[in-house]
């Protein structure tokens, strides 16, 4: 029992040795909060050379969630250096700290080399940490193969946990074929192995295969559900994630923190604000508790769902904020056009000593773009590398092109693209194209569109834009040529879709679909709204309407019904 940071001997009885006392203390759930006090007692009693106690103390460094996390890593390094001739259990605990969350993959592998030089033979508890480190280094494919070779030489390849870690490592390194081969090579697969393979498919964007494997699982645990829910959310399939969350609850599974983080991400994507509020209430009344990760997820959900007031209320109430917290709030303000407020918040962030990262500047530059703050955008783009050491990536260039384009600085935007040290992607050319259309610069627009067609020949929207421009000039033979090229290349125009949340139910509507039982009422209401818009003197932008190419029959529209997700 730890009381006010003090560890009383009397609670263990007069016959309890100091070693037994400390081993009991470090095994309690609350021990990680009193790591420094426990360690002081260990050193005062001279028990820091007791390898099991040292290993348990290192394990506490994994369980703690300090801010910043580097504090626990530094503490673990200092603790490890005090142990003379560490045994395999101490080495394994130290490797787990270094590889936790993929934090220090290079240092993890370097520590393993030192362990080998000390003639310490690895065991089955050593390799999961090493494989996690290899998975965090996709640019080092030989490292994973070398560790796999060590596993074969050591003779622990039959361990299921090691086997699952191998599958996970190969999937993160892009070798889906190797992961599948390992999975199919075992008949005694446990639920951990199945979970690793399901996560592998979702990670490689093989969503259908991941769901198929999930449905085939002979048994599932909470991690199985979390893997699929999070996988759907990460692949932009928010409605499927919400549907599966509902199914998980109906089957009696209690959501964990990992579940709720995945579901909140799906709520942010789908705009399911009421479901997100329900989860917020559930966190408040459940034993899960509000930690940093859940707070950040809620801020992101509220901000993207349009409830900036709730997002800011949560943000202001946080005692400890990470850079992710600031990024979520700045990004939310940017999304809703509150550029000046986002800039003020960035100033608070800097005054608070929080170092911005590359995501911070994406949010900040987006805020400047949406608020039309061209001068401020130029300033922040220039200080990224000079003051913060952040080399601009293609995302930052895309934001900067958007800022200049919105401000009418098209020549400057085109010049910036030519000076980019990285190849411009579709987002960069798309931002320039949008600005050119807005300001009537068809010459630059056609140049941007040529690059877009090279980068995304499969994107029907690019062909539609080209056809629009040709139609605006009256070049109908060229318009017909574009239409025929789309047809010959099997390029279909993606129907428009939208979603709406009503009474904690999310509905998705796809253009041209009439499968809903109340579709006649829906289309009648839509037609009535069109009449009201005309009466309000709303004039549609006819220049953007595709001539000829969009005039498809009903049977060519996407054959898909309204997707519904209800939540009680």
Q: Tell whether 301 is covered by a domain.
A: no
Neighbours of 276 (CB within 10 A): 27
What pLDDT, on a 0 to 100 scale, did the predictor assign at position 157? 77
What pLDDT, on a 0 to 100 scale, did the predictor assign at position 348? 95
Above 90 in pLDDT, residue 556?
Answer: no
> Which spans in 217-272 are helix H?
222-234, 238-250, 257-270
Query: What is the rounded CA–CA span in Å between residue 262 and residue 296?
Result: 12
**Could you give the C-alpha distances from 394 to 167, 317, 419, 553, in angstroms and in order?**
32, 34, 12, 39
8 Å CB contact between 282 and 245: no
Query: What is the rounded CA–CA span in Å between residue 7 and residue 1?
Result: 6
**Residue at which a domain ends, from 84, 111, 129:** 84
Which two structure tokens, joined as six digits, stand for 10? Answer: 């009397």
**Could you give the C-alpha distances from 441 to 351, 398, 427, in angstroms and in order?**
42, 19, 19
Q: Tell whether 46 is covered by a domain.
A: yes
Mean pLDDT calculated for residue range 199-223: 93
Share of the chain above pLDDT 70, in %: 77
Strand partners, 563: 508
Q: Please report which confidence band the pLDDT of residue 493 belongs to, taking 50, 70 and 90 as the band edges.
A: low
Task: Look at 532 and 87; give whichever has higher pLDDT.
Answer: 87
What contacts 520, CB < 8 A, 6 or more positions away? none
What pLDDT, on a 0 to 100 scale, did the predictor assign at position 309? 93
First to last CA, the chain: 42
pLDDT tens-digit readout, 23-77: 665 555 555 555 666 666 666 666 666 777 778 777 777 665 544 455 567 778 8
Above 70 in pLDDT, residue 95?
Answer: yes
Task: Look at 172 and 468; give whichever has higher pLDDT.
Answer: 172
Q: Tell whether 8 is covered by a domain.
A: yes
The C-alpha angle 10, 11, 12, rounded to 5 degrees, equals: 90
Query: What is the rounded CA–CA span in Å between residue 95 and residue 58?
Result: 10
Q: Please report which confidence band the pLDDT of residue 521 belongs to, taking 50, 70 and 90 as the band edges.
A: confident
Q: What is the phi/psi pair of residue 67, to 5°?
A: -125, 115
> Which spans in 251-373 are helix H?
257-270, 273-285, 292-304, 308-317, 323-335, 339-351, 358-371
What contacts 331, CB < 8 A, 6 or more positions away? 300, 303, 359, 362, 363, 366
pLDDT tens-digit readout, 418-473: 999 989 999 899 899 888 878 878 778 878 888 888 887 777 777 777 777 777 77
Q: Which domain holds residue 521?
A: 497-566
**Residue at which a domain ends, from 31, 50, 84:** 84
Above 80 in pLDDT, residue 292?
Answer: yes
Q: Tell whether 561 is covered by a domain.
A: yes
**Residue at which a domain ends, from 53, 84, 115:** 84
Task: Look at 14 and 325; give whichever has higher pLDDT.
Answer: 325
Q: Tell whether 286 is covered by a domain.
A: no
Lowest mean pLDDT among 51-60, 64-73, 303-312, 558-567: 558-567
Q: Tell whether 78 is covered by a domain.
A: yes
Question: Which of 333, 305, 329, 303 shows the shortest CA–CA distance to 318?
Answer: 329
What contacts 69, CB < 8 A, 6 or more positions away? 103
8 Å CB contact between 304 and 332: yes
Task: Give the chain's mean pLDDT.
Answer: 81
Lowest mean pLDDT among 201-215, 229-243, 457-471: 457-471
Which two structure tokens, joined as six digits, stand for 379? Answer: 């300033």
What pLDDT, on a 0 to 100 scale, did the predictor assign at position 301? 95
Query: What is the rounded CA–CA span in Å between residue 433 and residue 451?
Result: 10
What pLDDT, on a 0 to 100 scale, did the predictor assign at position 359? 95
CA-atom Rg of the chain in angstroms: 28
Q: What is the phi/psi pair of residue 303, to 5°?
A: -65, -45
Above 80 in pLDDT, residue 80?
Answer: yes
Task: Look at 11 and 488; give whichever has higher pLDDT.
Answer: 488
8 Å CB contact between 470 and 478: yes
- The Cβ-side half-sphere exposure at 81, using a 13 Å CA radius, reads 6
Question: Which of 563, 509, 498, 565 shows the shortest CA–CA distance to 263?
Answer: 565
Query: What is the rounded CA–CA span in Å between residue 467 and residue 546?
Result: 7
Question: Which of 80, 115, 114, 113 shows the shortest CA–CA distance to 97?
Answer: 80
Above 70 in pLDDT, residue 369?
Answer: yes
**Using the 8-state DSSP alphabet, how is residue 3 labeled?**
B
What pLDDT, on a 0 to 100 scale, did the predictor assign at position 568? 45
What pLDDT, on a 0 to 100 scale, did the predictor assign at position 391? 93
Report the predicted TM-score, pTM, of the whole model to 2 decimal places: 0.74
- Tally of domains within the chain: 2
Q: Tell whether 515 is covered by a domain.
A: yes
pLDDT tens-digit readout, 526-551: 788 878 877 777 666 554 444 443 44
**Could you give the C-alpha distances from 103 to 78, 80, 262, 323, in angstroms and in order?**
17, 17, 21, 16
pLDDT tens-digit readout, 376-431: 999 999 999 999 999 999 999 999 999 999 999 999 999 999 999 989 999 899 89
Provide the 3-class DSSP secondary structure of residue 500.
Answer: strand
Q: Tell whether 57 is covered by a domain.
A: yes
What pLDDT, on a 0 to 100 scale, did the predictor assign at position 544? 45
């Amino acid at each position: 029992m730890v009381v006010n940071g003090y560890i009383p001997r009397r609670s263990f009885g007069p016959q309890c040795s100091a070693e037994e006392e400390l081993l009991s203390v470090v095994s309690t759930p609350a021990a990680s909060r009193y790591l420094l006090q426990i360690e002081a007692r260990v050193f005062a009693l001279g028990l820091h050379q007791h390898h099991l106690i040292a290993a348990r103390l290192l394990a506490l460094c994994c369980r703690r969630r300090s801010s910043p996390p580097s504090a626990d890593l530094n503490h673990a390094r200092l603790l490890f250096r005090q142990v003379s001739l560490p045994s395999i259990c101490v080495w394994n605990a130290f490797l787990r700290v270094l590889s936790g969350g993929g934090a220090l993959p290079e240092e993890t592998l370097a520590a393993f080399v030192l362990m080998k030089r000390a003639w310490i033979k690895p065991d089955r508890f050593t390799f999961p940490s090493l494989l996690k480190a290899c998975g965090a280094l996709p640019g080092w494919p030989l490292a994973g193969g070398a560790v796999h070779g060590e596993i074969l030489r050591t003779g622990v390849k039959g361990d299921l946990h090691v086997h699952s870690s191998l599958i996970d490592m190969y999937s993160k390194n892009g070798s889906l074929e190797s992961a599948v081969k390992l999975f199919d090579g075992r008949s005694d697969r446990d639920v951990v192995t199945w979970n690793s393979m399901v996560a592998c498919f979702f990670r490689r964007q093989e969503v259908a295969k991941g769901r198929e494997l999930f449905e085939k699982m002979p048994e599932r645990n909470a991690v199985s559900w979390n893997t699929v829910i999070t996988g759907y959310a990460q692949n932009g399939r928010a409605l499927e994630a919400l549907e599966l969350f509902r199914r998980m609850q109906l089957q009696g599974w209690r959501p964990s923190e990992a579940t709720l983080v995945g579901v909140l991400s799906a709520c942010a994507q789908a705009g399911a604000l009421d479901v997100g509020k329900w989860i917020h209430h559930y966190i408040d009344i459940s034993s899960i508790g509000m930690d940093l990760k859940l707070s950040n997820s809620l801020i992101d959900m509220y901000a993207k769902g349009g409830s900036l007031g709730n997002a800011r209320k949560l943000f202001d109430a946080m005692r400890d904020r990470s850079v992710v917290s600031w990024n979520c709030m700045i990004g939310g303000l940017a999304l809703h056009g509150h550029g000046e407020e986002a800039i003020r918040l960035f100033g608070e962030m800097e005054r608070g000593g929080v170092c911005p990262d590359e995501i911070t500047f994406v949010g900040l530059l987006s805020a400047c773009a949406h608020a039309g703050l061209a001068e401020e955008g130029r300033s922040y783009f220039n200080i990224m590398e000079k003051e913060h050491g952040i080399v601009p990536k293609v995302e930052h260039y895309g934001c900067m092109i958007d800022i200049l384009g919105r401000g009418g600085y098209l020549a400057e935007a085109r010049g910036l693209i030519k000076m980019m040290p990285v190849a411009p992607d579709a987002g960069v050319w798309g931002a320039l194209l949008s600005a050119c259309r807005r300001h009537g610069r068809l010459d630059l627009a056609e140049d941007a569109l040529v690059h877009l067609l090279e980068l995304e020949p499969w994107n029907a929207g690019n062909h539609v834009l080209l056809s629009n421009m040709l139609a605006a000039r009256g070049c109908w033979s060229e318009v017909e040529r574009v239409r025929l090229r789309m047809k010959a290349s099997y390029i279909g125009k993606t129907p428009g879709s939208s979603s709406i949340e009503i009474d904690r139910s999310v509905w998705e509507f796809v253009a041209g679909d009439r499968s809903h039982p109340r579709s006649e009422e829906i289309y009648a209401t839509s037609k009535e709204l069109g009449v009201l818009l005309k009466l309000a003197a709303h004039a549609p932008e006819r220049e953007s309407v595709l001539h000829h190419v969009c005039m498809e029959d009903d049977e060519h529209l996407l054959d898909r019904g309204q997707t519904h997700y209800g939540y009680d």
